[in-house]
Amino acid sequence: MVEGYWHSKGSAERFYATFDINDLGRYTVVVEDKTAYRGDVASLKISERLGNVERKITLEDGSLFTTLDNDAIDTLFRHRQKSNAFVHYLETHMQWIAVAFVVAILTGISFFKWGIPWTSEKIAHALPYETNQLIAKGSMKFLDKAVFDESNLSKDKQEKIRNHFQTKIAPLSYEDDNKIDYKVYFRSWKMGDTEIPNALALPSGEIIVTDKFIQLATNQDEIDAVMLHEMGHVVHRHGLEMLIEGTFITVAVMMMTGDSSSIGDMGVGLGSALVSSSYSRGHESEADLYAFKKMLKGGIDPKSFSNIMNNMTEYMNEQNDDNETKKENKILDYFASHPSTKERVELANRYSECFKQGLMSCK
């Protein structure tokens, strides 16, 4: 016999009542004024067990028996009705909680570490080539309006770099993807009074180099090294991958925070910033590797990549803090979109060793 309360259909008023089931599969609810409700157990609707919240049994006539004695109800109904006990079973057994915990951690880590980048890469490469053009459409116009100024380099110099690129460098990537139509643009990029040395590639194969970068490059090899790095982004379709990764992250975040109030949202924002910058670092390393491999093939010393990287970093450091001693900031490294220059230079040096030995590939 289970003790609880009885409500007539839809009424808030409740009466003390008892509930019992006999051997023939008939139930009896006796309300405090001795009224009794009887019927077949199969006609009852029982709410699912959830922690220890009040259990609700709806009778045929819509009236309701409620009780907090969950265990007694589970015992009474054990063999009589299919109850949704599976989830509750998981929730109350420590070994399953432990399994769930481990699965959650492992899936979480692998999903973000390998699942998203891997799937994004597959999708990015499965999409037709034209998708790259589509996502880059209008970007050049926007950048010209918002970021860049016209280049101050002489037309001769521009033509010389362009010609060299189209005849010597661009063909190096034909074996990977011969649809890409590379174009080189020269622009000036200023932030405040500082001229920014940089090179960037749009998914469509448009490579933009800034005046300061050309100035800082001491020889043709250094320009080629950076061009190859940018081509690496294009060949690997990093622009498209970033877009797909971004969509995955937002959907995952939506699922995680869906039913929570905004308390955790800021933590989640921090987390997704960390994740996407880690993907971005992955892309940079991939583009570096691509550049080094092509340099071995094209007979360019990978050392030139580390040279120009060092030049640019040095220049930017000079601009940023004239006298200030720059402190290492380990935490912020996790937010950086590029791997640390030190790591990149080390890899370049390793490839340079291979280059000097005349190897065509490097381990």
Partner 1 sequence: MEALRFTGTGSEYFKIWIVNVLLTIITLGIYYPWAKVRNRRYFYANTNLADRNFEYHATGKQLLLGFLIGLVLFVIYNIVTQVAPQFAVVFMALFMLILPWLIWRSVMFNMKVTSFSNVHFSFRGKLKTSYKIFLGYPLLVIIFIIILGIVASIAIPQLHIETMENPTILIIGSIILGFLSMLVYVFIIAIIQKKSKEYIIGNSFYGQGEFSIKLETKKFLTIYAKAIGLVLIPLVVMGLGTLGMGAGGVEILFVIGYLGFMVSFLLVGAYIVSRTRAYIYENTLLDNRVSFKSTLGARALAWVMFTNFLMIIVTIGFAMPWAKVRMARLMLENTLVDTSVGFDDYITQEQERGGAIGEQIGEVFDVDIDVGF
Rank residues 246 and 298 by Cβ distance to partner 1 and give the closer one: 246
- Smallest gap from residue 23 Cβ to partner 1 (A): 30
C-alpha 285/C-alpha 344 separation (Å) is 8
Q: Which residues contact 90 (CB under 8 A, 6 or more apart)?
A: 96, 97, 100
- Residue 51 beta carbon to partner 1: minimum distance, rounded to whole angstroms: 5
Rounded least distance, CB 268 to partner 1, Å: 8
Nearest approach, Cβ of residue 178 and partner 1 (Å): 25
Distance in Å, CB of 60 to partner 1, minimum: 16
- Tell me the pairing of strands 183-191 and 206-210: parallel
Which value, to the nearest 10 degrees, does the dihedral of the CA atoms of residues 275, 276, 282, 288 take?
-150
Name which of 78 and 137 has its Cβ closer to partner 1: 137
Long-range contacts of 191-198 (CB under 8 A, 24+ apart): 194/319, 197/311, 197/312, 197/315, 197/316, 198/312
**Residue ranges that bind partner 1, judged by CB under 8 A:** 7, 9-14, 50-54, 56, 64, 66, 87, 90-92, 96-97, 99-101, 103-104, 107, 134-135, 137-138, 243, 246-247, 250-251, 254-256, 258-261, 263-264, 266-268, 270-271, 320-321, 324, 326-327, 329, 332
Closest distance of CB 148 from partner 1, Å: 19
| Residues forming a β-bridge with 67 | 55
**CB-wise, 64 or 217, nearer to partner 1?**
64
- How many CB atoms neighbour CB 160 within 10 A? 13
The number of beta carbons lying within 10 Å of the beta carbon of residue 84 is: 12
Distance, in Å, from the CA atom of 225 to the CA atom of 307, rounded to the nearest integer, reads 10
Q: How far is the CB of 264 from partner 1 (least distance, A)?
A: 5
Would you say 25 or 108 has its CB closer to partner 1? 108
Kindly tell me which of 267 and 299 has the beta carbon lying closer to partner 1: 267
Q: Which is nearer to partner 1, 188 or 198 (CB)?
A: 198
Cβ proximity to partner 1: between 138 and 358 the closer is 138
CA–CA distance, 228 with 246 (Å, rounded to integer):
25
DSSP state of 322: S
Query: d(Cα 359, Cα 261) in Å, to the nearest integer?
Result: 58
